[in-house]
Structure 1
Amino acid sequence: MNLKSLLLAGGALLSGTAASAGGYQVTLAGQKNNGMGGVGVGLSLDQAAMFYNPGALAFVKDRGVQVGVNATLARNAFVAEGGTQQRQLRNSVTTPLNLYAGFGPTEGKWRAGIAVYTPFGSKLQYAEGWEGRTSLTDIDLKSIFVQPTVSYAITDHLSIGAGLVILAQGSVNLQRDIPLPDSYGHIELDGKAETKFGFNAGIMLRPSDKLSIGLNYRSKIDAVVKDGDVTFTNVPAAFSSRFQATKFGATLPLIATTSIGIGITPTENLTIGFDASLAQWSKYRVLRFNFDQQINGQTFSESKRYYQDALTFRLGGQYKLTSGLTVRAGGAYDQTPVPEGYLTPETPDNDRISGTVGASYSFGKFGVDISTQYVSIRKRTETQQELLNNGTTDRIAGTYKTNIVIPGIGLNYAF
């Protein structure tokens, strides 16, 4: 048995089916933004600016509280190299959520707030008995980030802001089958990530009432799992001496991202935004697991990733139809960070194109936001020869195709 194959799916601590960005990023942080293709770095729409650009928070007119939730509905199909049978994911739904509360004096130059969001969280369940069962069968990932934020308007045209990013809670459950001479055993890895800290900082420049420019930087955080549980089932007693590990540890990068955004308001009712982001995926080179005892004669495992930095472009707009109704639309293009020959079942990624629509209706101080996204991940084939050339035979050759639908709803209250 190949130990790398046994533990390949560990990369899913940060991955799964990423809902709206390449690799294992998820950027479903604000319902208004979601309806506009995910733009937000150069805009000051609402309290969700704490995520997209803390520097823009000082220019948000209203103080308020908002909560939102999305449902990611993924359809993933796989055909093994040389095969004809199409395998599909078992049905699963994940629900990324967010909560923002912004405060500050009505006529003051500063704003403060607290943000809670889930930038990593997904669930993948491959078909029973699929060809890659020894790499991955199930993933269940949950995470909660908390970000206290402060923003200050230095002048009427320039503001800055920053937030302390806290990985407050994270958990992962990974499962896969173990090939044995006459049967399959099963391994389950279950662990919790340690609390870690990073930062989110931004600047907003407003040369005029019709133009705004934003710059945002989100720092890298290393997610560290220590003393995760390793459990084996359906392993005959004759082979139990080969599977003695009970604990595992791993460190994986939550990569840094630098973004620039432009907001344009041609008329009082129309707002257009454009964002460009660079994700520093090249920091993700190797996935290593350490074990308290041996598995098939080894106490550690390493699997190549060799990700590359990737760009994301987003464009969106909103139009205020009436005093209470605003409609939105947008789209995005994401480059994949996964190079040829390094595709894994837990991140069956490729360049992706998404389209979005959304709307808001406000009545007094209350409002409702809705959004829907359709994400198409380009079909991608990985051959056995590519795996052999790169020394990545710990994964399976074949063709993946994924489409994702993401409806969302949010409630907000201004005060």
Structure 2
Amino acid sequence: MTLKSLLLASGALLTGTAASAGGYQVTLAGQKNNGMGGVGVGLSLDQAAMFYNPGALTMVKDRGVQVGVNATMARQAFRSQYGGAQRELKNNIVTPFNLYAGFGSEDRKFAAGIAVYTPFGNKVEYADGWEGRYSLTGIDLKSIYVQPTVSYAVTDKLSVGAGMVILAYGAVNLQRDIPVEGAAGSGPAHVELDGKATTKLGFNAGIYFKPTEKLSIGASYRSKIDAKVEGGDVKFTNVPTSLGSRFTATEFDATLPLPATTSLGIGFMPNENLTLGFDVNYVEWSKYKILQFDFRGNNGAGGLVSPSGQVGGSNISTSRREYEDAVTLRLGGQYLLTSGLTVRAGASYDFSPVKDGFVTPETPDADRIGLTLGASYKFGNFGVDVSGQFIDLKKRTQTEADLVANNTADRVAGTYKTRVLIPGIGLNYTF
């Protein structure tokens, strides 16, 4: 395989294997919502409204505390354009979690709460010797968001709310091989980037309107946050002594935009036992044009192949992304079977923001279909929520000609296919 340029920027700063949303966005914030295709903007199900629509928090029937965890299990396969064995990810399980605590005034005019959730996080390891090893061998990333939230009922049918979104913790470990042979028989040189993101602030605001007992409408907006890693560690291994002067970088800086999302939702309650929801999410991915790594030290680009085809060169590594704005459609419902048992089902269709010729190995994104199931059982003030999701990404192929034409030869030509299974469980206490 001929790669015209091998850049360090693999695009994994705070990305994930897109468990339930396009690009590197992950939407696993509420256990009940997870079982309903991810709907929630036009509903007031529980305290997870802080994430889906802060304006609906005042309209939530019960105040309470809830915690949930999901296990994302991805099967990702790759086959090179030039043939050879099919490559598969090593098996890894990532466990994004959520925690909500909501409280309200006696007159139900005011509500407040705190939300903690993990919207980005993943662990990916490719098989040794795979064709894209000079783009990526593995990533391990974590993030935690904290969102204090307030909501106010303007009338008994209309409420508004907002929350401050805090990127409280973010960390990334990115590794790849370098196209430089190490000591005799030891394989290629290797580089590892390890860094933590600085704390950043954004906001999440929403409005909720319930004109009748059978209809509710919601809208929310989650602002863009620029996740920045400053002074991350750079570690080179197996570099031959003769090339040591070209691999002296010790730190790096990088920024990744976490895009703004505008959502609209409708809830329909034809009877007291059945609730249906439909959401549309519009994500401003077009803000993500380029990913740049700035390295501190001689040849900070990691001794990668420069545009001239020679090892060495710049202390700046850039990779084109050119994402497009994208839409996700979600549909789901729940039915109260008994006073304690509720069952759920849903589906989603997510349009990928990644254009042809721009697919990267850390997020081999494609249009995807999601199918979900869920259930809750309530006994007294306590409840248990379970959910399951199956996400099927369409097969995505890009050729060497595509990469050359788009000046994106820092990635690998071939075909990707990904499926994700996500079981989840949550506990809640209402009062």
- Report the counterpart of residue 189 of structure 1 in structure 2: 193
Residue of structure 1 equivalent to 2:304:
none
> Which residue is equivalent to 2:286?
282
CA–CA separation in structure 1 for the residues paired with 2:74 and 2:6: 25
Q: Across the two proteins, how many residue pairs are aligned to each other?
A: 414
Matched, 1:21 2:25: no
Residue 15 (structure 1) shift? 1.5
Q: CA deviation at 1:107?
A: 3.0
Which residue number corresponds to residue 273 of structure 1?
A: 277
Q: State the match for 1:235 in structure 2.
A: 239
Paired AA for residue 363 in structure 1:
F
Could you tell me how far 1:181 is from its partner in structure 2? 4.5
- The root-mean-square deviation of aligned C-alpha atoms, in Å, is 1.2
Aligned identity (percent) is 68
Paired amino acid for 2:88: Q
For residue 85 of structure 1, report the CA deviation from its aligned partner.
Answer: 1.1
CA distance in 1, matches of 2:330, 2:5: 37
The residue type paired with residue 97 of structure 2 is L
Kept after mapping to 2: 8 A contact 1:163/1:199: yes
Q: 2:343 aligns with which of 314, 327, 339?
A: 327
1:173 maps to 173
Structure 1 residues 113-124: aligned runs within 5 Å: 113-124=113-124
Q: Do the aligned residues in 2 keep the contact of 1:49 with 1:56 (CA within 8 Å)?
A: yes
* Alpha-carbon distance between aligned partners in 2 of 1:58 and 1:308, rounded to the nearest angstrom: 35
Cα-to-partner distance string for 1:306-359 (whole Å, 9 max, x where unaligned): 000000000000000000000000000000000011111011000000000000
The answer for the alignment partner of 2:6 in structure 1 is: 5
Gaps of 5+ in 1: none
User: Residues 68 and 278 of structure 1: is their aligned pair in 2 closer, same or farther, counting only changes over 3 Å?
Assistant: same
Give the TM-score normalised by the residue count of structure 1. Answer: 0.98
Letter in 1 for 2:6: S
1:87, 1:3 → 2: CA distance? 22
2: distance between equivalents of 1:360 and 1:243? 55
Once the two structures are TM-superposed, the CA of residue 8 in structure 1 deviates from its matched residue by: 2.7
Q: Report SS of the residue matched to 1:13.
A: coil
Q: TM-score, normalised by structure 2?
A: 0.95
The Cα shift of 1:179 comes to 1.1
Letter matched to residue 407 of structure 1: P
Aligned-partner Cα distance in 1 for 2:12–2:18: 10
Q: Which residue of 1 aligns with 2:254?
A: 250
Deviation at residue 260 of structure 1 after TM alignment: 0.1
Alpha-carbon separation, structure 1, partners of 2:123 and 2:259: 21
Paired amino acid for 2:68: G
Deviation, 1:4, is: 6.0
**Distance change in 2, residues 1:12/1:4 (3 Å):** farther
Distance 1:325 1:212 in 2: 23
> How far apart are 1:299 and its partner, in Å?
1.2
**Match of 2:333?**
317
Query: Counterpart of 1:333 in structure 2: which amino acid?
Result: Y
Partner of 2:209: 205
Q: Greater CA deviation, 146-155 or 288-297? A: 288-297
Partner residue in 1 for 2:133: 133
- The answer to whether the Cα contact below 8 Å between 1:37 and 1:332 also exists between their aligned partners in 2 is yes
Structure 1 pair 382/2, CA: closer, same or farther in 2 (3 Å)? closer
The residue type paired with residue 366 of structure 1 is F
CA–CA distance in 2 between the matches of 1:398 and 1:24? 20
Q: Which residue, 353, 356, 359 being the options, matches 1:343? A: 359
Counterpart of 1:214?
218
Cα distance in 2, alignment partners of residues 400 and 67 from structure 1: 34
Residues 223-252 of structure 1 deviation map (CA, whole Å, 9 limit, x = unaligned): 011000000011111111111100000111
CA deviation after TM superposition for structure 1 residue 3, in Å: 11
Partner of 1:38: 38
Moved more, 83-92 or 39-48: 83-92
Give the residue type in structure 2 aligned to 1:62. Answer: D
Matching residue of 2:101: 101
Question: Is the Cα–Cα contact under 8 Å of residues 336 and 342 in structure 2 kept in the other structure?
Answer: yes
Q: Using the alignment, how far apart are the partners of 1:226 and 1:45 within structure 2?
A: 39
* Rounded Cα–Cα distance in structure 2 between residues aligned with 1:231 and 1:14: 19
Tell me, in whole angstroms, the C-alpha distance in 1 between the residues paired with 2:107 and 2:334.
26
Cross-structure match for 1:72: 72
Distance 2:413 2:298 in 1: 28
Query: After TM superposition, where is structure 1 displaced by more than 3 Å over at least 4 residues in a row?
Result: 1-4
Partner SS for 1:55: helix
8 A contact 2:9–2:293 mirrored in 1 = no
SS in 1 for 2:271: coil
1:284 is displaced (CA, Å) by 0.1
Q: Say whether the 8 Å CA contact 1:39–1:314 is kept in structure 2.
A: yes
Q: Name the CA distance, whole Å, in 2 between partners of 1:18 and 1:176.
A: 21
C-alpha contact 1:200 1:219 (8 A) present in aligned 2: yes
3-state DSSP of counterpart to 2:401: helix
Tell me how far 1:301 sits from its aligned partner: 1.0
* 1:2 CA displacement: 8.4
Offset at residue 152 of structure 1 (A): 0.5
- Give SS of 2:56's match: helix
Matching residue of 2:414 = 398
Q: Which residue of 2 aligns with 1:413?
A: 429
| CA shift for structure 1 position 104 | 1.2
For 1:246, give the aligned amino acid.
Answer: T
1:13 positional shift: 1.5
How far 1:217 moved relative to its partner?
0.2
Q: Which amino acid aligns with 1:7?
A: L
Tell me how far 1:32 sits from its aligned partner: 0.1
Match in the other structure for 2:163: 163
One-letter code of the match for 2:258?
A: L
Does the Cα contact within 8 Å between 2:13 and 2:255 map onto a contact in 1? Answer: no
Residue 348 of structure 1 aligns with an amino acid whose one-letter code is: P
Following the alignment from structure 1 to structure 2, what is the Cα–Cα distance between the partners of residues 141 and 340? 26
Q: Distance in 2 between matches of 1:117 and 1:404?
A: 20
Would you say the 8 A contact 1:4–1:302 is kept in 2?
Answer: no
Q: By how many angstroms is 1:70 displaced? A: 0.1
**Partner amino acid, structure 1, of 2:363:** T
Paired residue secondary structure (2:177): strand
